[in-house]
Amino acid sequence: MIRAVAAVAAVALSVTLVDLFPRSILVFLAFQLSLLYVYVTRIPAWLRTGLLGVALLVLMPLIGFRNGYYLEVATQVGIFAALALGLNIVVGLAGLLDLGYVAFFAVGAYSWAIVGSPHANLIFGGGFPLAPGWFYVFLFVGLAVAAITGVLLGLPVMRLRGDYLAIVTLGFGEVIRVLANNLDKPINLTNGPKGITPIGRPPLPFGIPYSEGFYFLVLLIVAVVILVNRRLEDSHIGRAWEAMREDELAAQAMGVPLVRAKLLAFACGASFAGVMGVVFSAKQIFINPESFTFLESIGVLAMVILGGMGSIPGAVVGATVVTVLNLQVLKGFSLWLNELKNAGVTVLGYSLADLPTQLEPAKYERMVFGIILVLMMIFRPQGIFPARRRQRELAHTDKVPTAVVP
Amino acid sequence: MTALFDAHGITKCFGGLVAINRVDYALDRGISSIIGPNGAGKTTLFNVFTGLYEPDAGEVTFRGRSLVGLRPDQITALGVCRTFQNIRLFANMTAIENVLVGMHARVRLGLWDALTHPPRFHTVERGLWQRGSELLERVGLRDKANEIARNLPYGDQRRLELARALGSEPALLLLDEPTAGMTQGEAGHLMGLLRRLVADLGLAILLIEHNMRVVMEVSDRVTVLDHGEKIAEGLPREVQGDARVIEAYLGRSSASRSPRAPS
C-alpha cells in the first residue's frame, strides 16, 4: 500500500517538477527514475501497468509540449530500445556475438530513404518520391529486406563462433557502411557521403504533430517488438536458441537444427533493426553513412550488456541509460565543465581557463562513458536487470506453465 | 528381418591414427554395453553412430535407413539420442527447460505459431511441459524441475542428461559412461532405472561403461573394443572369461595367472 502511494507520488511529483523547470536535465532524469521505480517496486500489476501506460502515453507527450527536446530524447530511446531488443535476440539469447548490427539498421533506413525521396528519380527516371502513405508499407519492406540481409550474412558465417564470428560481423557492418559511402557510382544508389534528403514523412492521423507522431509510432513498434521477443523467448524457438548459446554441440545432438536456428536468430534480430531504420530515416529526413558507423553497433551492444544479456527489461533499460547518458547527462556534464572553465574557476590553484584545447571538456564525454562501462563490468557484470530463469509451477494437475514468478 | 541398428565395417582415422578399425556392430533390443581400456575407441564409435563424426569407411543403418552423412539433429529426429561422457547440459537453463530442449525434434510448431499463439500452440506447449515433468519424475528429479542445471549435484546432472535424451523419444539410447563419478549405490539405482526404461518404453540402450560390476550385472550383451578393434562379443560371462579380454585389460603376462592378480 505504502509502495503504491510512493509510486504514484513519485511520478506525479517528478512530472510537476518537469512542468515547473522544463529546462532542467536533472528534473527530467528524476522523471525517468520515477518510472524505473514504478517498474521495480512491488506494487499490484494493474497499478504498475496503469502508471507506466499513463506516463508513456499521456505524460510524456505533455512533457514534449513543455520541452520538445525531451520528446526527441524519448523517441531516440525508443529507437535504440528496439535495436537493443533485436540485438538481444542475436547476442543475448542465441549467443552469436554480432559487432556489425547497425548494418541492418542502415539497410532498413536506406530502403525507405531511396524511394521516399526524389533521389530515386536519378535511378529509375521519374515518379518519385513515393506518396507518403507508402511509408507504412515500407515498414514491412524494411523488415523483410533487413531479414534477408540477416540471412545472407548468416549463411557464410554458419561455422564461426565467438571471436571469429565477431570479427566477421564487424567486417560486414563496415562493408555495408563503405557500400553506402561509395554506391554513388556507377549508379547513384545512396548518393555517397552526401547522403539522401529530403526523405518523405508519413501522413499522420488527427493532425498530430510530427514529433508526437514519431514518438507514438516508435512506442507502438517497441511494444510489438517486446511482445514478439517474449513470445519467441517462451517458445521452443527461444529454448533452442538458449540451448545453442549454452552448448552448440549438445543442442544439435538433442535435435536442434543449428543452421536453421542461427539463420532465424539473425533474421529476427535484423528485422527489428530494419523496421526502426525506416522510421529513423523518415524522422531524420536526412541520412548519410555517418549514422551507421561501427561506434553505433558498439553502442547498441553496450546497451544489451549494460542492461543484462538475454533480458528484455534489461535491453530496454540499457537502451534508456546509454541514450540518456549520451544525449543528456554527458552533454550536460561537458556543458557544466565548460561553464566552469569560462567562469575561470580555479582548482587547486590552477585556473581551468588555462586548459589546453586538447583537454576540452567536450572530449571527456566518451571517456566518462567508457569509465561507466568499465565500472559496470567490474561491479555488476551481469547487467542492470539480468535475465532471470522463470520458475514455473509444476503442480500435480495438468495446468503446467502458468504462474510466472520473477 | 534386419536389426534395429546395424553398423558394419566402421573405420575412422585421425591423421595417421586408426581410432576405429572395421568394426561391425548390430543391436536389436535390451541393454548392450561396449567396454574396453582407455583409448580403445568407444567414444569415437559413439560419435560416428550419432553423426558427430563421419566414418572414413563403413555403413550405419537404423531401421534400415542409412545414418552416414546425416547431421546429428537429423539422427536424433530419427530416434537415436545420446548422452555425453563429460556432462554437457545447458548449464544456465532449468532442469525442465533442458528436457524441453531435448523434445525439440518432436515439436510440430513453426515460427508463425510461436508469434501468433494459436490455440494449438498452447495445447502443444502444455503437452510438452506435462511430458517434461513426467520424464523428470521418471529419473527422480521431479522436485528439482526449476533448479538451474549448473547447480544440481553431479549425480542429478547425469540423470538430467538422461531425461533430456529421453525427451527426444528415442528408440535407441546411447549412454556414454552414465555412472562415471557415481557411488556403487547410485550406479545400481541408475541401472534399475535403465532396466525399467527398457521394459516400459521398449527402447534399446547402448552403454559405454567402465564400472565392470554394473556392466556385467545389467547388460544383455557385452562388446569389447581394444585399439579400435572388436576383440570379443557375447554374454557378460562369456566375455569375462575371454583370454583376449583379460589380456587387453591386464596385460599379456598376467593372462596366464588369475585375472584378479595384481600385475
Q: Label residue A26 by pLDDT band (50, 70, 90).
A: confident
Q: CA of A239: which chain B residue's CA is closest?
A: B101
> Is the bond preceding residue A129 a cis peptide, omega within 30 degrees?
yes
pLDDT score of B257 more than 60: no
Q: Label residue B253 by pLDDT band (50, 70, 90).
A: low
pLDDT digits (tens, 9 = 90+) for B170-185: 999 999 999 888 888 8
Query: Smallest CA–CA separation between A352 and chain B, in Å?
Result: 51
Q: Decide if B117 touches A, using CB distance below 8 A.
A: yes
Please give the average per-residue pLDDT across A65-90, as a whole number: 92
Helix and strand tally (H, E) in chain A?
Answer: 17, 4
Q: Decide if B128 touches A, using CB distance below 8 A.
A: yes
Strands A391-392 and A404-405: antiparallel
pLDDT score of A136 more than 90: yes
With beta carbons under 8 A apart, name residues in chain A contacting B147.
none
Please give the average per-residue pLDDT across A90-106, as a whole number: 93
Residue A115 and residue A134 in contact, taking contact as beta carbons nearer than 8 Å? yes
pLDDT digits (tens, 9 = 90+) for B76-108: 999 999 999 999 999 999 999 999 999 999 988
pLDDT digits (tens, 9 = 90+) for A159-208: 888 889 999 999 999 999 999 999 888 888 888 889 888 898 888 888 88
Between A351 and A396, residue with greater pLDDT: A351
Query: Smallest CA–CA separation between B173 and chain A, in Å?
Result: 12
Q: What is the DSSP letter of A198?
A: P
Main-chain phi, psi angles of A196, to 5 degrees: -115, 135
pLDDT digits (tens, 9 = 90+) for B118-176: 999 999 999 999 999 999 999 999 999 999 999 999 889 999 999 999 999 999 999 99
Residues in chain A whose Cβ is within 8 Å of chain B: 228, 231-232, 235-240, 242-243, 246-247, 249-258, 264, 389, 391-392, 394, 398-401
Q: Decide if B96 touches A, using CB distance below 8 A.
A: yes
A4: three-class secondary structure by DSSP: helix
Chains A and B form CB pairs within 8 A to the count of 126
Residue A111 and residue A278 in contact, taking contact as beta carbons nearer than 8 Å? yes
Q: Label residue B1 by pLDDT band (50, 70, 90).
A: low
pLDDT for position A310: 87
**Residue type at position B101:** V
pLDDT for position A127: 78
Rounded to whole angstroms, how far apart are CA atoms B74 and A141?
Answer: 34
pLDDT for position A405: 40
pLDDT score of A281 more than 90: yes
Query: Smallest CA–CA separation between A263 and chain B, in Å?
Result: 12
Instruction: Please give the angle made by the CA atoms of B86, B91 and B96, to the nearest 5 degrees.
Output: 110
pLDDT digits (tens, 9 = 90+) for B3-49: 899 999 999 999 888 999 999 999 988 999 999 888 888 999 999 99
Q: Decide if B168 touches A, using CB distance below 8 A.
A: yes
Q: Label residue A351 by pLDDT band (50, 70, 90).
A: confident
| Angstrom distances, CA of residue A179 to CA of A100, A190, A325 | 14, 9, 31
Which helix (H) or strand (E) covers residue B207, if one does? strand B204-208
- Mark yes or no for CB contact A394/B133 under 8 Å: yes
Rounded to whole angstroms, how far apart are CA atoms A237 and A263?
Answer: 12
pLDDT digits (tens, 9 = 90+) for A255-264: 999 999 999 9
Please give the average per-residue pLDDT across A319-323, as a whole number: 92
pLDDT score of A394 more than 60: no
Q: What's this model's pTM, rounded to 2 decimal places?
A: 0.88
pLDDT score of A395 more than 60: no
Average pLDDT, chain B: 89
